[in-house]
Amino acid sequence: MVKLTQDEIKENLKHLKNWSYKENSIVRYLKLKDFSTAIKFINAILPVAEELEHHPDIEIKNYNEVVIKLTTHDEGGVTQYDFQLARRIEELVKDFSS
């Protein structure tokens, strides 16, 4: 998979309204109901990431805030793999949003 240009990243982000481009990654911040919900959400990402063989960087902050960062390390930046996984993660978000 080929690293996307800045213009290609901007174009793809138009279709993922809650994602942004920061530090060579596309990033999504979510504030969930509580810690348990945050953990359940992260666990829901696991089978999708395994299926796509593309794994996000995930962080929990302040017990209920989840930060997801996607980049393709082998390519040194954002690729279509990252957007594919982001779209799949967005499908999960509606089941966990408070």
> Is residue 98 pLDDT above 80, yes or no?
no
Strand partners, 72: 77
Considering only CA atoms, which of 32, 26, 22, 34 is closest in space to residue 84?
26
> Is residue 97 pLDDT above 90, yes or no?
no
The structure's pTM equals 0.94
Q: Residue 62 burial by CB count (10 A; 0-12/13-18/19+): exposed, middle or buried?
A: exposed
Res 17: pLDDT: 87
Cβ contact 56:68 at 8 Å: yes
CATH classification code of 6-93: 3.30.1360.20
